[in-house]
Structure 1
Amino acid sequence: MNLKINLPVYSEELGLQSSWEPGFEIAVKVTYSEAVISANKQGLISLAKQLLILAQDEAPTGSHFHLDETNALGPESISLILEKR
């Protein structure tokens, strides 16, 4: 599978800009001692895009996306933070 994706470039003025595929669905739950991220195709591509945005050389250490029920995740999801080390 080949995908061509356009990512917003990090800038000091705008900071991180997220990019989501139309129709994405993502849920994060904890079962026993495991975190489970489940998503449809658009959700998986969207998560990959957020990680690639963080991986840009221009994005400083500590840059992060905070995802929760009010921001990108489905109902009853626990929060998920994607952070660049």
Structure 2
Amino acid sequence: MAELKINIPEYDKEKGAVSIWEDGFVIKSKVINDQIMISANQAGLISLAKQLLFLAQIETPPGCHYHLDDHNSLESGSKEIVISKI
């Protein structure tokens, strides 16, 4: 089994959600027949995992979220994605 070590910053209410992107990440999203498809290269998948692990921390409060779109993190033409902790 491969081992991957990931450093995830702790939640800080003054900083809010911290984005942690791997170099060279590529993430695309689209809707096909009412299904959401997210496609990513290795760096993109690791980056998404980091965002999810950040949200999963006990200190991260409900409502903390990431808003991903083709202007800041997704490839051009991608559908917007909001990932939120409940």
What range describes the TM-score normalised by the shorter chain of this pair?
A: over 0.9
Aligned residues: 85
Partner of 1:22: 23
Partner residue of 1:73? 74
Show the counterpart of 2:42: 41
CA distance in 1, matches of 2:31, 2:84: 19
Amino acid at match of 1:59: T
Q: Give me the whole-angstrom Cα distance separating, in 1, the residues matched to 2:13 and 2:42.
A: 31
Runs of 4+ in 1 over 3 A off after TM superposition: none
Question: Offset at 1:15?
Answer: 1.3
Q: In 2, distance between residues paired with 1:20 and 1:42?
A: 8
Matched residue, 1:61: 62
Give the superposition deviation at 1:74: 0.3
Stretches of structure 2 lacking an aligned partner (at least 5 in a row): none
Q: With structure 2 as the length reference, what TM-score do the two structures score?
A: 0.95
* TM-score (ref. length: structure 1): 0.96
Percentage of pairs with the same residue? 52
Over the aligned positions, Cα root-mean-square deviation in angstroms equals 0.7
User: For the residues of structure 1 that align with 2:68 and 2:51, how far apart are their CA atoms?
Assistant: 11
Tell me, in whole angstroms, the C-alpha distance in 2 between the residues paired with 1:13 and 1:36: 33
Structure 1: gaps of 5 or more residues = none
